[in-house]
Structure 1
Amino acid sequence: MLRVSIFLSALVLALVGVGAAQAQDTYRIKPGDVLSIEVLEDSSINRQSLVLPDGRVTVPLAGTVSVSGMTVDEVRASVASKLSSNFANEPTVTVSLTQLGTPKPIGGASLMSIYFLGEVNTPGAVQVKRGTTLLQALALAGGFNRFAATKRVQLRRTDRSGKQSVYNFNYNDVLAGRNSIGATQLATGDVIVVPTRRLFE
């Protein structure tokens, strides 16, 4: 009887795994989703990448890759193709969907969507109250991880005409009061980018 129970439990887990895999095979990527990208031949490329409002992700050595509307397998093939010129043979790329793009409500009325990309502890899309400042938003993302280049943080803002402005700042200067950009109120669609720290940076 015990063996039968163990067998049935294993069968259920296997079926759940198959169902999840099939869901990823047919799901179409959309802005706000977070993808886990891993390259067997070069682990320095491995990261979680946020799909930006324009439907693209940024991958080291591959540059920007359009992924919106693709399946996970199509993204894998596209990333592998773009990386191939950097390797003797086409690299072994694994892509998985780690977070859906449904914004996480923080509470309060009149919410707007902003995005965190790069070396923060909680990348992805999030909803915040209007009037939220840049410094408050960074706190909502759980702060920086150990790979963060805190001297080269970016705030990217796109106006109604489609023109993008990029504001670079040193987070340490903000904390020390030498830069007031931390008090900047965010706008809908703002993207906060925290690059990866360079060697010896």
Structure 2
Amino acid sequence: MRLGAVIVVAAGLITAVPAAGPDEGSSTARAAYEVGVEDVLHVSVWGEPAIDLSVPVRPDGKISLPLVNDIEAAGRTVEEIRQAIAEELARFIREPAVTVVVEQINSFRVYILGEVNSQGVYTFRRPTRLLQALAAAGGLTRFSKQKVIVAREAYGTPQLLEIDCRKLLRGEDMKSNIFLMPGDTVLVN
């Protein structure tokens, strides 16, 4: 078989196999980041130097911009915020080219309580897994039963996730090393 034919066959096999990635429902699949209170956004509009500024997300979840005043930001993705700003600006500017960038993530707070060496509120700058958060809290105390409860609200519904850290720490249940969400409370027994 000639080399060219081998390459064509191999290319066909590669494109026929679906990419291996996380299932949408798995804990490793990541949703688009939702902006939160105290995050800082940089908003710019091409050709409009008056709208090229950094704005904090206020406690009421809104940002203030020239011409459009208040825009709801908390709980929205960057793309949703960009679209909302563009729609409002379209009343004043023809086809506004809006760019929104998250400059600072200040809203990703996780509360870690119980049998850890340093209880408290932890702010993370990127998606964080349970074991990373427990390490940030100084690890489990020697009195810990190595049981963890993660309390969170998902889509308006409270959830309690029970995790056996013994299995997780032995590498027997790595699915339990979940990504934490902003506002999660981690209670270590």
TM-score (norm. length: structure 2): 0.42
Question: Rg bigger for which structure?
Answer: 2
Give the TM-score, by structure 1 length: 0.40
Select the structure that is richer in helix: 1
